[in-house]
Each structure stands twice: as structure tokens, then as C-alpha cells.
Structure 1
Amino acid sequence: MATAPPRRSLLLLLPQLLLLRSLLAAAAPSITTKAVPRLPGFSGPLPFSLETGYVELDDGVRLFYYFIQSERDPEEDPVLLWLTGGPGCSALSGLVYEIGPFYFDFEGYTGSGLPTLLYKPASWTQVSNVIFVDSPAGTGFSYDTTGNRTIPSDTIVIQQLHTFLQTWFDEHPQFLPNPFYVAGDSYSGIIIPPLAMKIAKGIEYGDERLINLKNSTYFLSEVWINDEPVRESLGIHKGTVPSWLRCDFDIPYTKEITDAVDGHLALIAKGYRAMIYSGDHDASIPYVGTQAWIRKLNLPITDNWRPWYVDGQVVGFTRTYSNNLTYATVKGAGHTAPEYMPKECLAMIDRWLSGKPL
């Protein structure tokens, strides 16, 4: 007949388990947040909810983010993760110059002092909550406490952003029921499909967070954000980034993903919605090239090439494909389309997020 193990064995094991739990807890990702009701350069309280913070990953990386709640209905509107391209371009570039709710008063700048910030009504935050992330480490205010021993790469960044999202939603569980989309421009188009697939697989495998994945000039910015009171308002860790750059193209980075077609096909096969848009004046990634790789997906066309309108004016052309894929051009827009045509791009994203045809 078997006898129970000696009690002293259990007592010896308990401290070891407690130590292990302590070590695991110490290494787990964590988050610090800061509410920002005012910003230097903006007159009066901000007319929207801004939060900044760092997600501290267990590999020594600290990813800085800006979170702006929807100005319409934050409890119901989608949550967008916005990734600026590069690699090495700060999220502030997307926030100020593309889809965010404020911009610099370039015309009124006298050449000295702090630039003035003005409210921008044609912001994507009119219809969605948006998380802007500085990624990879070394971009914007994100940094590596280990001295950047590991050179960032596509796969490393995807894993870090996945952990970032898990940690962020742990801190903001009220947004878990909201539709969630991964969005961005330029080089981030390489990162978005595999990141979305990683989230999708986590949901299928029973991830307890159950993120509701749905998938989809510049001088003044350096003057403003390198000002010490501005950094204090945003909660920037002192001594970590001596001089902020909008884009640091010298950041060490390994590009591993050479083709995004398979990633898009895998997401489309699972039924996730996606929209791809191009400025028709984009000289960096011309829209004809984008159309060429979309043809490689070999999807049936459900709504053929047609113009789409804002205020009765043609502002681009669009085509829809089977499996919820939409492609659109934005007339007169360059590489970062919302920077050139904010009103038109707001109408585009609002209609698409609402499930309406462009």
C-alpha cells in the first residue's frame, strides 16, 4: 500500500515554487501609463483623451506608445493599432502628420520658441480609438535597457508587438469587446499580416484575452518633442533618448520577410477583413505595383473598378474582392495618404470600419 510523501518534502518544495513564481513575475512584461490632459503648445485642455506609457518587455525593451480614445464613442468604436513604417519612423509622425487629432501650425511659426499645436477635426480618432507605438526599440522614445545587444528584425518586432498588445489589453480590459484592427503605412505593411496572423492563432488556440481582431516635413516635430516640458508632459523616461528623430534610418534592423502575399492569403482564408489603400501620387510604392501583387492573390472580383466620392467629388477609385478585401486609391495623395488628403482618408476609413461600401 502506497504511503503519503513525508510532509517535509512538501515544505521544502513550497519555498521553491514561491521563488519560481517571484522570478517569473519579475520577468513578466509590465506597463506604466500616464494621462495627459494638456500639452505644451496647445491652448487649453486637450479636447480628446490622450494617454502615454511604456510597455516593459521581458527582454529589456521598453516600447513607448500614445493612446487616443475615440472622440465619438470609445466604448463602442474600434481600436486601431497604428504602425508607422521605416523601419525606424516614430509613431508621432503618424499621429501628427497623418491620422491624429492635432498638427503643428507651420504657417504661424516664427522660427523660434515652441511650435503651436492646433486641433485637427479630420482625424481617424473621430471614429476609432488609436494606439500609436514606437517600434522597434531605438525608434522615437522606445529603447533597449540592454544596450541594444540584439538587432531588431521582422520576426522579433512581430513577437514584441504581440506581447505589447497582450500587456496593453491586460491593462485596458474594457476595450477587449471592441473590434480590433492592425493598421499602418509603408514598411509596416510587411509587419501587419504576420502580426495579425499571430493574434488570430492566439484566439483560435484559446488566448484568454480574446482580442476582437477584425484586421485591416517635419522640422517642427523635432523642435516640439525635444523640448523638456513636452517630454515631461508625455512621461518620457529621462536619459533614455537624448535626441528624438522622426525617422532614424540608421537604426540596425534585419529585414527577413520578402513577400507579404502568403500572409495576406492566410488571413483572407480565415475570413478576416482587410483594406489596402494607395495614394495615386505615391512615388515610393506606386499604386500600379500594389495592384500587381494584389493580382497575385488570385481572388475573384466582386465589385469592379469604380470611382468613390466625398462631397460629390471623385476622390479615388476602388475595387472589392471576395473574402472581404477592399482596395482603394486616394486621388492626389502621396506615400502617406492621410497626410495629404486627411478629409478623404477619414471618410474612407469611417465607411470601411462601418462595413459600408466606399
Structure 2
Amino acid sequence: MGKGYKLYFFWVVSVCLLLSFAELIIEAAPEEALITYLPGFNGTLPSKHYGGYVTFDEKNLFYYFIVSERNPSEDPVVLWLNGGPGCSSFDGFVYEHGPFNYEEGQPKGSLPILHLNPYAWSKVSNIIYLDSPCGVGLSYSTNTSKYTTDDWHTAADTHTFLLKWFELYPEFINNPFYISGESYAGIYVPTLAFEVVQGIKAGVQPILNLKGYLVGNGVTDTDYDGTLISLVPFAHGMGLISDDIYEDVQSSCYGNYTDPNCPPSIDKVYETLDGLNIYDILEPCYHDPNAYKDGKGNTSLPVSFRQLGVTERPLKVRKRMFGRAWPLRGQLKPGTLWPELAQHGSVMCFNDEIATAWLNDESVRKAIHAKPKSIAGPWELCSGRISYASFSSGSMLPYHKNLTTQGYRALIYSGDHDMCVPFTGTQAWTRSLGYKIVDEWRSWISNDQVAGYLQGYDYNFTFLTIKGAGHTVPEYKPRESLDFYRHWLDGKPI
């Protein structure tokens, strides 16, 4: 056998072994978690789907994992978290950027029909939808004391989940890893990222390949997200309150919260905005007929706005909440959390019937490897069984500075018609970091149209708006969302 032939033979054998090893790695995921069918969907799944529980400390956290349709071995792994606190990440899965669109209008009692979503974020990334903290969505514990938590315990638990998850799926440990979420996940994401970074520095195994994070319409800081910096300028700019009301608030409240004219001025703002869909001021507000008595409507403006920097004490500010959850008119006191709100009916202004029907069907639960209702309880968009100390970690501004100055990329994006967490407050706090502007305010394009605006800062920190989108951006602008998501993950200009 000649020398050249031996080298060629060695090369062929090496390639075959490498291919076999790669095949073995791809198959390393726990096959018992593989989802082979989904009730309501007729067709072949475009990539592998997995579902199941990661269990520790008497907690069972449910995840739904979708392998990227593009290049699983190289595409990033992205963790998705919805807010609340207490809202299920199946909100994102069903209504925003998940793999399916759900056909409405089916006969009562029948499951929705599922069609492939051409703008799913799994087109360009491996994505994990996690129900967190324990007690939310399909996550559960047989020890109900585990349903009492706060920002730090949630971050620690999610970090533990990730370490155990990557042990189950070791083939993805070297992929770039990003943390993402929206609304109250504006707290979940930076606190979790901080926890992960601390673990990396301490050499906790497995070492996660964290590269950065994304936050959509996320709460961040009680001052910047509050009435005066966020809501009032937004409402005035959108033409929702008059010049007179705006000037009245400015003269009586700004820098002088003790002025006796301040609370009445703010009340005028609330009265004017009452009845709007807080998630998107252009959309109608859905009213659940079972949640209303005597023909009364709901106030879509949350009590939380009445607690921000005007008349309420710091304790009440700490207890405010954001997510798919708003009170019925006049029934709730300021400072009410989602678990209390849940006792009064469904999530305000939002129709969650499709997700509720699908995820409470036992055949669906069996298909995705979730426990039945008799064990995990019924699925709710926002859970009423957890007790959560909101804002226990304080302002997120120090966390953003800490993470970005260490080299972690950040994309902060806002639907510009959201009144829940208005872009005005987000724009103000991103600017307040004092970073040098490296990409001056400009429009960005999707489908040959202006899709929004962005400003790029030093330290790979970007603030981006999506034109015409509400609180849950991909729900309103799916094509545009996939565009900025893909470009940002790929490290290309948006």
C-alpha cells in the first residue's frame, strides 16, 4: 500500500468517525423527551421538538425545546421567559414566535388547528420555552411552600435549571447562549444573566457559553418605568391626553410630588386613558364575559401605574406587577399582585381561550410530556398559585452596566404602541447609562419598509423600537421581529 493511499485511507476513516461522532452527539438528547406528534397539527415537524421536566429541590420546571430549523449545531441556544411575575412562557410559544399559528373559529370543545409559523424564532435558533418560577404554567411542586419566591430565588432556580438542562443536552453546550424575555422578564433576564456570569467565574460545571441577552418591553427601574417619566410623555406624544392635562402634571408633579395638586392631576391622566387596551393602544380591549358583572367594563390601566413616583410609598412600589394581568374596575387596592388579581377573573384585554383549551387537553399534555391536570394542575396564562415579592432585586440599571461592560451583548427592544411598559421610559433609561452613541438614531428596514428605529451604544448595547407593535412585539409584528432577531443573533447590522 503506497504512502499516498495510506494517507487517503486514514483521512476517509477519520471523516467517517467524525461523522459518526456528530450523529451520536445529535442523538445525545434524551429520546424519552422527544415529541413525535401534536394534537391539532397534521404534518411533519420542521425540526426536532422536546418537552419535559427538570427536577430539583422538590420543584418540577417544565420546558419545551425546539431545535433550530437552520443549523442546530452552530445556531445559538436561546432561553425564552415571559413575565408577570407568574405568566407562562407558552404565551410566547402560542401567541408570539413559537413554531405554530393557531387557527381560531373551531367548534366549541374542539382543539385548534395548528399551522406552521413562517416567522418562528426557531427558524434561526434553538429555543427553550421555560415555565418559571415553579408554580407557573405547567411547572409544579407537590410542596406548595415552593410557590413562594422572589427575583433572586427565581434567578437561582433558573440557573440550576440551565445547568441541569445542558447536562441533558450536552451537544449544545458550546453553542452561543442567549437569555431573552419580555415584560417582567425585564427583571428575570438581567438577574439570571448575572447569576450565570457568577457561575462562569466560579467555574460551575457545565460552563455556559453566555454571549448576551434580549429584553422586550421590559420593566427595569421604578422611576424610569413610572408615571411621570414613562406614561405621561407617552400618552401626550400619542395624543391621548391634552396639552392642558400634560402641562398640569408638569407644573404640579415634576420635582414636587408633595404638591396637593399632583394626585388630582395624575387622576385626570388615568381617567382619560381608562378603557384603552394597555398592551396596544390601537387594538380593541377584549372583555371576558365571565369576568364582568352588571355590564361594567374594565379599566385596562393597571393599579401599578398609580404607584410610580407620585403618591405611593416605596413598599407599594416594590409590589407592582407587569404582564398579562390587570384588575377589574374598583375591586382591587393599589399594590395588588397577579396572584390576587387572578382571583377576580381572566387576564384583562386579552383572549387566551386558544392556549387554555390546547394546554389543558390531556392528549396535548401527553404528547408534550407534561403531567396531567391531576398532578400539575390546570394551565393558566398567568398563575394564581404563586406568592411573589416583586422588585425584590431593585433597579436593573446596575445589572445592565455590569453585564455590558464585561462584554455581554444586549438588545433592548420596544413595541412603540405599548402602554404597559412604554418605549418612552425604556428610551430614557437606556440613554441614562451614559454610553457613547456609536450608531446614531436611525430607521431600520424590514420587507422594504421602515419597521422602527434604533440607537446603538458602546459596549454592544442597542435600543430598538418596532413601529406599530404592542407589548408582545412578535404577536403584532412577526416578520419584522424575526428580521431583527436573526440579524442581531448573527451579529449583523439591523
Letter in 1 for 2:389: T
**What displacement does 1:92 show?**
1.0
Q: 1:115 to 1:252 in 2, by over 3 A?
A: same
Q: Give distance in 2, aligned partners of 1:250 and 1:314.
A: 43
Moved more, 278-287 or 149-158: 149-158
**What displacement does 1:202 show?**
1.7
Q: Give distance in 1, aligned partners of 2:155 and 2:143.
A: 19
Give the aligned partner of residue 227 of structure 1.
361
Matches within 5 A, 1:42-191: 42-57=41-56, 59-106=57-104, 108-149=105-146, 151-191=148-188
Indicate if the aligned counterparts of 2:69 and 2:124 stay in contact, CA closer than 8 A.
Answer: yes
Q: Give distance in 2, aligned partners of 1:342 and 1:41.
A: 22
Give the aligned partner of residue 260 of structure 1.
396
**What displacement does 1:48 show?**
2.4
Letter in 1 for 2:38: L
Give the aligned partner of residue 422 of structure 2.
286
Query: Any idea what SS the aligned residue of 2:479 has?
Result: helix
Query: Any idea what SS the aligned residue of 2:203 has?
Result: coil
Indicate if the aligned counterparts of 2:147 and 2:386 stay in contact, CA closer than 8 A.
Answer: no
Greater helix content? 2
* 1:36 has 2:170 as partner: no
**What displacement does 1:205 show?**
2.3
Backbone CA RMSD of aligned residues? 1.5
Q: Give distance in 1, aligned partners of 2:83 and 2:492.
A: 28
Letter in 2 for 1:35: L
**What displacement does 1:122 show?**
0.4
Q: Give distance in 2, aligned partners of 1:249 and 1:312.
A: 44
Give the aligned partner of residue 313 of structure 2.
none
CA offsets, 1:55-91, max 9 Å, x none? 101x211100000010111101000010011111111
Give the aligned partner of residue 3 of structure 1.
none
Indicate if the aligned counterparts of 1:62 and 1:145 stay in contact, CA closer than 8 A.
Answer: no
Q: Give distance in 2, aligned partners of 1:300 and 1:356.
A: 20
**What displacement does 1:149 show?**
4.9
CA offsets, 1:303-331, max 9 Å, x none? 11000001210000001000000111001
How many residues of Structure 1 are paired with residues of Structure 2 in the alignment? 326
User: Identity percentage over the alignment?
Assistant: 45
Q: Which runs of 5+ in 2 are unaligned?
A: 1-29, 214-350
Letter in 1 for 2:111: L
**What displacement does 1:144 show?**
1.5
Indicate if the aligned counterparts of 2:75 and 2:176 stay in contact, CA closer than 8 A.
Answer: yes
Q: Give distance in 1, aligned partners of 2:34 and 2:445.
A: 38
Letter in 2 for 1:334: G
Q: Give distance in 2, aligned partners of 1:53 and 1:96.
A: 17
Query: Any idea what SS the aligned residue of 2:442 has?
Result: strand
Give the aligned partner of residue 243 of structure 1.
378
Indicate if the aligned counterparts of 1:37 and 1:45 stay in contact, CA closer than 8 A.
Answer: no
Q: Give distance in 1, aligned partners of 2:169 and 2:94.
A: 24
Indicate if the aligned counterparts of 2:135 and 2:385 stay in contact, CA closer than 8 A.
Answer: no
Moved more, 194-203 or 268-277: 194-203
Q: Give distance in 2, aligned partners of 1:323 and 1:188.
A: 22
* 1:313 has 2:449 as partner: yes
Indicate if the aligned counterparts of 1:79 and 1:129 stay in contact, CA closer than 8 A.
Answer: yes
Indicate if the aligned counterparts of 1:33 and 1:54 stay in contact, CA closer than 8 A.
Answer: no
Q: Give distance in 2, aligned partners of 1:150 and 1:315.
A: 40
Q: Give distance in 2, aligned partners of 1:162 and 1:33.
A: 23
Give the aligned partner of residue 27 of structure 2.
none
Q: 1:199 to 1:33 in 2, by over 3 A?
A: farther
Q: Give distance in 1, aligned partners of 2:168 and 2:352.
A: 33
**What displacement does 1:249 show?**
5.1
CA offsets, 1:231-251, max 9 Å, x none? 111112232233211112563
Indicate if the aligned counterparts of 2:72 and 2:126 stay in contact, CA closer than 8 A.
Answer: yes
CA offsets, 1:207-239, max 9 Å, x none? 331211011232111111111111111112232
Letter in 1 for 2:383: D
CA offsets, 1:157-190, max 9 Å, x none? 0010000000000111110110000000000111
**What displacement does 1:257 show?**
2.1
Letter in 1 for 2:166: F
Bigger Rg over Cα: 2
Moved more, 163-172 or 289-298: 289-298
Letter in 1 for 2:363: P
Query: Any idea what SS the aligned residue of 1:148 has?
Result: helix
Query: Any idea what SS the aligned residue of 1:211 has?
Result: coil
**What displacement does 1:152 show?**
1.3
Query: Any idea what SS the aligned residue of 2:452 has?
Result: strand
TM-score by length of 2: 0.64
Indicate if the aligned counterparts of 1:53 and 1:64 stay in contact, CA closer than 8 A.
Answer: yes
* 1:351 has 2:487 as partner: yes
Q: Which runs of 5+ in 1 are unaligned?
A: 1-30
Give the aligned partner of residue 295 of structure 1.
431
**What displacement does 1:32 show?**
9.7
Indicate if the aligned counterparts of 1:282 and 1:333 stay in contact, CA closer than 8 A.
Answer: yes
Indicate if the aligned counterparts of 2:453 and 2:466 stay in contact, CA closer than 8 A.
Answer: yes
**What displacement does 1:293 show?**
1.1
**What displacement does 1:285 show?**
0.4
